[in-house]
Amino acid sequence: MAFIKYFPAQPKIDFLSKRKLFLAFSAFLLIGSLVSLAVQGLNFGVDFRGGILIEVRTNGPADLPDLRSRLNNLDIGGVTLQEFGAPTDVLINVQRQEGAEAEQLAVIELVKAELGDVVAEYRRTEFVGPKVGDELRQAGILATVLALTAIGLYIWFRFEWQFAVAALIALVHDVVATIGFFSVLQIEFNLATLAAVLTIAGYSINDTVVVFDRVREMLRRFKKMAITDLLNLALNLTLSRTLLTSVTTLLALIALYVFGGEVIRGFTSGLIWGVLIGTYSSIALAVPLLYYTGVRRDNLAASDASEEEAVEDAS
């Protein structure tokens, strides 16, 4: 039954020799993400830009061009319409209006009055005033910076600086590539997708920590092995775990993506991409980076010999 028996416990893949290829690919991802962010930016949702979002279900298949022209006649600035999961479901995005909250709310009433005859159900109405939009944006930036800093501090505390630097570069790589994913595909970036990005930060560092733990152990155990061989060994020993965990997580996420409903599809797609990137980066970026930051045994031996003993004693 257990097919894991057929998966070699210690595959012999030489990851380190391809490190330049990986670096080039990561650089490509990063540059691509940054260029896309600079050129087309993020498709901010109503949470961050302020404005109005209304999801309606129409009586019968929606006539988008007709709806569009009717809403444009209201003279409420940019209105975008899109089909949302079903031909009868339409997502209406109304630009942030000039003026304060009251002006925005008036527009909701205006739109609802205009569409009264074709709409069977208002499935969702989200309105974020200018004030709250600004606050949410600031809180979002703060949360991201704090999360990255806190995770960074933890890594720094748990590992030597060579590991910490490599882990942080990999972490930033994953976060930028995930945000880039939203930019390239222009998937709406809202509070939920920000949550996805932070979750990915946690997941990716999780993966990296597992491999780094093993590298550290190998460094202690094989005092004379060449560093590239040692990093390769650590990667190969943890490979089955890295892949299995990614597969189970992806299985759950794909179920969520396909059947979890339209509302969280953007969020889930970010998580799926993030898991893929996080898995890739802990194998192909974080560990090869260790080669460049120059992990050495001497500073490990001193500080960690005692730790090893402590673990043995505790048992």
Residues 43-72 that bind another protein (CB under 8 A): 55, 57
Binding range to another protein, per CB under 8 A, among 14-22, 26-34, 226-234, 254-262: 254-262
Q: Does 2 interact with another protein (rule: CB under 8 A)?
A: yes
Residue type (1 letter), 130 = P
Q: Cα(first)–Cα(last) distance of the chain, in Å?
A: 33
Considering beta carbons, is residue 14 or 121 the nearer one to another protein? Answer: 121
As measured in angstroms, the least distance from the Cβ of 47 to another protein is: 9
Residue from 1, 38, 39, 302 binding another protein (CB under 8 A):
1
Binding mask 262-291 for another protein (x = CB under 8 A): -xx--xx--x--------------------
As measured in angstroms, the least distance from the Cβ of 178 to another protein is: 13
Tokens 């402590």 sit at which residue? 310
Residue 57, beta-bridge partner list: 89, 121
Q: Does 218 interact with another protein (rule: CB under 8 A)?
A: no
Residue from 98, 306, 311, 313 binding another protein (CB under 8 A):
311
Q: Which two tokens stand for residue 50?
A: 């302020």
Residue from 158, 160, 297, 304 binding another protein (CB under 8 A):
158
Greatest alpha-carbon pair distance for the chain in Å reads 79
Considering beta carbons, is residue 144 or 293 the nearer one to another protein? Answer: 144
| Helix axes of 161-184 and 19-39: crossing angle, nearest 10 degrees | 50
Q: Looking at residues 100 to 129 of the shown chain, list those that interact with another protein (rule: CB under 8 A).
A: 100-102, 105, 108-109, 112, 121-129
Q: Does 24 interact with another protein (rule: CB under 8 A)?
A: no
Residue from 14, 185, 202, 296 binding another protein (CB under 8 A):
202
Alpha helices in 92-190 (DSSP H): 101-115, 130-158, 161-184
| Helix axes of 298-314 and 191-221: crossing angle, nearest 10 degrees | 90
Considering beta carbons, is residue 183 or 268 the nearer one to another protein? Answer: 268
Considering beta carbons, is residue 114 or 213 the nearer one to another protein? Answer: 213
As measured in angstroms, the least distance from the Cβ of 122 to another protein is: 5
Q: Which residues of 181-217 are buried (b: 16+ CB within 10 A; e: fewer)?
A: bbbeeebbbbbbbbebbbbbbebbbebbbebbebbbe
Inter-residue contact 82 to 152 (CB < 8 Å) = no
Task: Give the whole-angstrom CA distance, residue 265 versus residue 193.
Answer: 10
156: number of CA atoms within 13 Å, CB side? Answer: 9
Q: Does 140 interact with another protein (rule: CB under 8 A)?
A: yes
Q: Does 306 interact with another protein (rule: CB under 8 A)?
A: no
Q: Does 74 interact with another protein (rule: CB under 8 A)?
A: no
As measured in angstroms, the least distance from the Cβ of 253 to another protein is: 6
Q: Which two tokens stand for residue 46?
A: 């109503």
